Amino acid sequence: TWDENGKIWMNGELVDWKDANIHVLSHVVHYGSSVFEGIRSYEIDGKGHVFRLEEHIQRLFDSGKIYRIDIPYSKKELIKATKDTIKENNLTECYIRPIVYRGYGVAGVDPTGSPIDVAIAVWKWGKYLGEEGISKGVDIGVSTWRRMAPNTLPSLAKAGANYMNAQLAKLEAVENGYNECIMLDTQGFIGEGSGENLFMIKDETIYTPPLSSSILKGLTRDAIIKIAKNLNYEVVEDKIPRESIYIADELFFTGTAAEVTPIRSVDKIQVGSGTRGPITEKIQNEFFKIVEGKSKDKYGWLSPVEE
Ligand code: PMP
């Protein structure tokens, strides 16, 4: 939920929520020219702790580099700006949305000469796929929409325009009564959800699609791979045939918004026992123990808002 009395960081200043506006002729409005991040801060001992802040800001710069969007701040400045914005809004637990976009300046597709603007907004956000989803699992369908083909819209960039593809898939999923969907890559292998990576468990081995399946390189995905390996599971990054998710023992989504959300059915076919599976629960517990400060942050994933 948004707090419209809050402040938004815009090009170096904290401005009133209602004043954080852009011109209708900004390049981004017409051509989707933005790169952004989604980050979460967790409350531990009454204080905010941002999950993998440095890596998220690095991914923002990587997305910018792919699109030749030269961010006019340093990583350090944006890390500080993120923490300042959280503090200014008196938040501890929140969702953080840094966005870099081509602003008001030129009319055509060629962005040369348009300014690069940067904003950071923060707000309170609960469980993206529902509290019940976290414990019991969600129902999803395979989308009729595919992920972008390689070398069309680059999936490793977290760019605004990619989410036109995600919206088509999400709208269809909701229309069909599902919480979320899974999109296949152009070859028909498993890709990812509209805003989540996917993991599959079969015979105690954990599988997740490779970057070549047109996925975003999720930071939660990376965290879960590390947690799973630390729990001595074998993790295989390889192309996943569509039908293998119907006969999987367990499935779950990962993402900043979705955290670790089990999947209990796909296309109305029950997955495993039809509820959160035991390995999913084990991995989920490890993840939540870290972000809730109940176990040591041994991977160094949490960055305190107040130093
Ligand atoms: N895939 C897509 C398309 C996403 O939008 C997201 C959310 N950023 C993810 C995967 C998960 O990435 P992360 O764990 O870094 O949030």
Nearest CA to ligand 1 atom 9: 196
Please give the full DSSP string across 117-162, using - where no structure is assigned: EEEEEEE----TT-HHHHHH-EEEEE-SSPPPPTTTS-TTS-BTTH
Residue 164: Cβ-neighbour burial (10 angstroms; 0-12, 13-18, 19+): exposed
> Tokens 């979705």 belong to which residue?
258
User: Where along the chain do the CATH 3.30.470.10 domains lie?
Assistant: 7-123
CATH 3.20.10.10 domain extents, the chain = 131-291
| CATH code reported for the domain at 7-123 | 3.30.470.10
Pocket test for ligand 1, best of 52, 145, 216 (most atoms within 8 A of CB): 216
- Decide if 298 is catalytic: no
CA-based nearest residue to 201, from 178, 230, 170, 224: 224
**Size of the chain in residues:** 307
- What are the distances in angstroms from CA 257 to CA 114, 268, 305? 31, 24, 19
Q: What is the pLDDT of residue 136?
A: 96
- CA–centroid distance, 19 to ligand 1, in Å, is 29
Given 158, 282, 296, 298, which residue is catalytic? Answer: 158
- pLDDT value, residue 127: 78
State the distance from the centre of ligand 1 to the C-alpha of 106, rounded, in angstroms: 31
The letter for the amino acid at 62 is D
56, 256, 261: residue to mutate for ligand 1 pocket, most atoms within 8 A of CB? 256
Per-10-residue mean pLDDT, the chain, length 307: 95 98 98 98 97 98 98 98 98 98 97 97 87 94 98 98 98 97 98 98 98 98 98 98 98 97 98 97 98 97 95
> Could you tell me the pTM of the whole model?
0.98
Task: Measure 113 CA to ligand 1 centroid, in angstroms.
Answer: 30
Q: Is the CB of 218 under 6 A from ligand 1?
A: yes
CATH topology of domain 131-291: D-amino Acid Aminotransferase; Chain A, domain 2 (3.20.10)
258 lines ligand 1 (CB under 6 A): no
Which pLDDT does position 181 carry in this prediction? 98
pLDDT for 212 = 98
Centre of ligand 1 to C-alpha 195, Å, is 5
